[in-house]
Amino acid sequence: EAGVTQFPSHSVIEKGQTVTLRCDPISGHDNLYWYRRVMGKEIKFLLHFVKESKQDESGMPNNRFLAERTGGTYSTLKVQPAELEDSGVYFCASSQVKGRLSEQYFGPGTRLTVT
Amino acid sequence: AQKITQTQPGMFVQEKEAVTLDCTYDTSDPSYGLFWYKQPSSGEMIFLIYQGSYDQQNATEGRYSLNFQKARKSANLVISASQLGDSAMYFCAMRHGFQKLVFGTGTRLLVSP
């Protein structure tokens, strides 16, 4: 079974440009989460999808960030326009609905550098 | 508010020794789950161990065990017989239901030969 995949693995863009990150969750996982780790700080939650619906987007920093999950499969996170403080590692995670543990499986992350 | 505190920014241990990584948490919800993740230098997040708030026994997974002290709100990770490959960042996290994970700031563990 394939794990959570993220694309690209690295992205270097200039301030003001647009970047779109993609996450493909594990097949059959309805829950999809985006997290971000800014250098030296804790990993922070951005938002949570259940299928194609946004369950919780309380962690989205501002309206420059737009997340979508069309059809309840893969998700994209667009940053437009990017700012220097958006640099960090963006993680995607997915989990099944059922099960006591419902462990969140993480992707390898996308390292975003805004210059 | 939910909060995870990891007070050890860095820990050193010799190969084959045991090490304890500290984690305390704060929540007013009686139902929660506690997780430990490992992040090696390659960057991926690897799930290690889980403890549910109603679990009577401490969780164990191979060389990993979770010292769960509910009254003290602590969930320390114990790694026995450390290996060089255990060198990594370790994150403690908490979750309620299917909600978001709340992470601590992490502890960097360095295992020396």
Taking the C-alpha atoms of residue B111 and residue A105, their distance in angstroms, rounded to an integer, is 26
Give the per-residue pLDDT at A53.
94
Query: pLDDT averaged over consecutive 10-residue blocks of chain A (115 residues)?
Result: 90 97 94 91 92 93 94 94 96 79 86 96
Q: How many CB pairs under 8 A join A and B?
A: 59
A-chain residues within 8 Å CB-CB of B32?
Answer: none
Dist CA B76 CA B24 (whole Å): 8
Alpha carbon of A21 to those of A44, A73, B11, B25, B66: distances in Å? 17, 14, 34, 32, 35
**Which residues in chain A (53-72) have CB-CB distances under 8 A to chain B?**
56, 59
Which residue does chain A place closest to B37, by CA atoms?
Answer: A106
* Partner B contacted by A41 (CB < 8 A): yes
Radius of gyration of chain A (CA): 13
Query: Strands, DSSP E only, in B44-100?
Result: 46-52, 60-61, 64-69, 74-79, 88-95
From the list A11, A19, A8, A54, the residue with the least C-alpha distance to A33 is A54
Using the predicted structure, report yes or no on whether residue B52 has a pLDDT greater than 70.
yes
Contact A108 B43 (CB under 8 A): yes
Q: Is the pLDDT of residue B55 over 60?
A: yes
- pLDDT bin (cut points 50, 70, 90) of residue B1 is confident
Q: Do A105 and B102 touch (CB under 8 A)?
A: no
